[in-house]
Each structure stands twice: as C-alpha cells, then as structure tokens.
C-alpha cells in the first residue's frame, strides 16, 4: 500500500470507530443538536467577554453611606438614601438562561462531565482581568464547596474538577481546600442566605493564609451572592487576599450587558 493510502485508511477506521461509539453513547449538545458534544452556537456562548455582575448580587452589597436628607456635593445633588459598594468583583460569561443554562445543567447534573474541559479555558480571561495589576504571579483558584449530598448525587465535585481544568489551561494554581458550607441554600430566606458561612479546615488553608496568598473564587452560578460572601469571609479571615470571583453564569446581569448580548 502506498503512503498516500494510509491517511485515507486511518480516516476510514476513525469514522467507523466514531459511528460505533455513537451507537453506545450518542453525541449530542446540551441544546439538543445531535452529532456533536458542543455545537458552534453553544461554543460561542463560552467565547463571550466576561461581564461584571456583582452589582446584581444583593448579598455582596455593603452599605457605604447613608443620607437622611439631600446633600449638595459641588454641582451634584445627592438625594436622601443609601449608597452601596460591592464586597468583591464578580465576572460571569453571561446570564443564567437559555442554552447557557442548559449547558451548565448538563455539565453539573446531566453527566456531561467533559464540558468542564470546555468551560475552563473560557473562564481564563475573567481570571486575567481580576489579577491585572494586582500581582505578577498566577493566583490560586479556590472552588466553592458543595454539600456532601450534592457531591454524592452528581458523583463528583464539579467545581473542584473545573478548577483543576482551569489550572491545566494556565489560568492559575488550583487550591483545593477542606471547606464546607454550614447550611444548604434550599429553603433559606434572603436574610439567612446573607449570613451563610463557610468553614475552612486543614493545613493547606493555614499555609495559604500565612503567605497571604492571592486567590480567585470559582463557582458555577451566582444568584444572590451569599455563597461568594461566605467564601470571601472565610478566606480573608484565614489571611488570604481575595482578588474576586469568576462564575460561568449569573442569575441577573446588568442591563447594559444584557442589551449587548441581545445585539451581539
């Protein structure tokens, strides 16, 4: 057989193998398109520029000023009310809905674990934005912990696996701490969620705290921001320096970002 025949033969063998495997585990995108693990439109969802979403997270807002009456500040009139500043910056790839929501649910609950390897490099630009000008070294990436019942149900700790994949993509160093939330999110009111705490234990947390390690929190979805608030409190109390958080999606995004997504 000539050399030119080998690529053709190899391609035929790969095609047969792919078709055989498809009979056992059919390839389909979370949006429903068949024949691919992730279709082009869904791939583009992961290629969008990250946007700041902390202003939409109620639990991340800190009271910075309160005015009982109107105040004139130069030519600016500040009406009576309160001002808030965010506890930390949070970057997301988009709003939690539509195909992006289906992609996340397929990854974390639908058994499509391979999607983590596609999500990880998409979050790298968000990490780069958070560390820009803050520290020359890559930061440590800390995943938000899940309840043990959720890990058992899913068969893995999906945020920890995401952080490992992000480390492989060069976004930072995975820092897997022994952490657990004190309460679950389900059935909690806004006030209870805001006071949610995360407990850190173990040598890794103590060493990172003594070094004042720069860290970025990683999660799948942010809603009120209560979990990120709890993680921020736990990490800073241990001595680490929190640069911000990156998430795949946010339950709400600022109006300007939402408008740009619709016109993009």
State the Cα–Cα distance between residues 15 and 3, nearest whole angstrom: 19
Q: How confident is the model at residue 76 (pLDDT cuts 50, 70, 90)?
A: confident
Phi then psi for residue 259, to 5 deg, are -65, -40
Give every CB contact of residue 176 below 8 A, 6+ residues apart in sequence: 142, 143, 160, 163, 204
pLDDT at 145: 86
Asked which of 7-21, 73-87, 173-187, 244-258 is least confident by mean pLDDT, the reply is 7-21
Query: Is 0.85 topped by the overall pTM?
Result: no
What percent of the chain shows pLDDT beyond 70?
Answer: 72
pLDDT at 4: 44
Over range 18-41, report the average pLDDT: 74
Give pLDDT tens digits for 38-75: 999 999 999 999 999 999 999 998 776 666 677 677 77
pLDDT at 1: 42
pLDDT at 160: 92
State the Cα–Cα distance between residues 30 and 108, nearest whole angstrom: 12
Round the average pLDDT of the chain to a whole number and report it. Answer: 81
Give every CB contact of residue 67 below 8 A, 6+ residues apart in sequence: 78, 79, 80, 81, 82
pLDDT at 234: 95
Over range 77-81, report the average pLDDT: 66
pLDDT at 80 over 90: no
pLDDT at 245: 97
Helical spans, DSSP H, in 59-143: 98-108, 116-131
- Does 40-263 carry CATH code 3.40.50? yes
Q: What are the structural domain ranges in the chain? A: 40-263
Which DSSP category does 34 fall into? Answer: B
Strand partners of residue 246: 91, 218
Task: Write the Ramachandran bin of 98: left for phi over 0, alpha for psi from -120 to 50, otherwise beta.
Answer: left
Helices first, then strands: H and E counts in the chain: 10, 12
């Amino acid at each position: 057989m000539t050399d030119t025949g080998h690529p053709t033969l190899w391609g035929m063998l790969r095609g047969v193998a792919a078709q055989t495997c498809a009979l056992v585990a059919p390839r389909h995108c979370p949006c429903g398109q068949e024949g691919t693990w992730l279709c082009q439109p869904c791939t583009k969802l992961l290629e969008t520029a990250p946007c700041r979403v902390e202003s939409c997270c109620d639990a991340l807002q800190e009271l910075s000023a309160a005015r009982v009456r109107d105040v004139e500040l130069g030519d600016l009139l500040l009406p009576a009310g309160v001002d808030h500043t965010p506890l930390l910056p949070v970057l997301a790839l988009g709003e939690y809905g539509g195909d992006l929501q289906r992609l996340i649910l397929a990854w974390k609950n639908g058994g499509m674990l391979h999607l983590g390897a596609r999500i990880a490099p998409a979050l790298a630009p968000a990490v780069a934005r958070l560390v820009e000008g803050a520290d020359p070294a890559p930061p440590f990436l800390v995943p938000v912990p899940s309840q043990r019942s959720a890990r058992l149900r899913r068969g893995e700790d999906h945020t920890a696996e995401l952080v490992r994949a992000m480390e492989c993509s060069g976004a930072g160093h995975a820092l897997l701490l022994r952490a657990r939330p004190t309460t679950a999110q389900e059935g909690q009111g806004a006030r209870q969620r805001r006071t949610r705490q995360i407990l850190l234990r173990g040598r890794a947390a103590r060493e990172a705290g003594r070094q004042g390690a720069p860290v970025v929190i990683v999660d799948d979805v942010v809603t009120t921001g209560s979990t990120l608030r709890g993680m921020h409190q736990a990490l800073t109390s241990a001595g680490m320096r929190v640069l911000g958080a990156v998430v795949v999606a946010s339950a709400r995004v600022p109006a300007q970002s939402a408008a740009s997504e619709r016109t993009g």
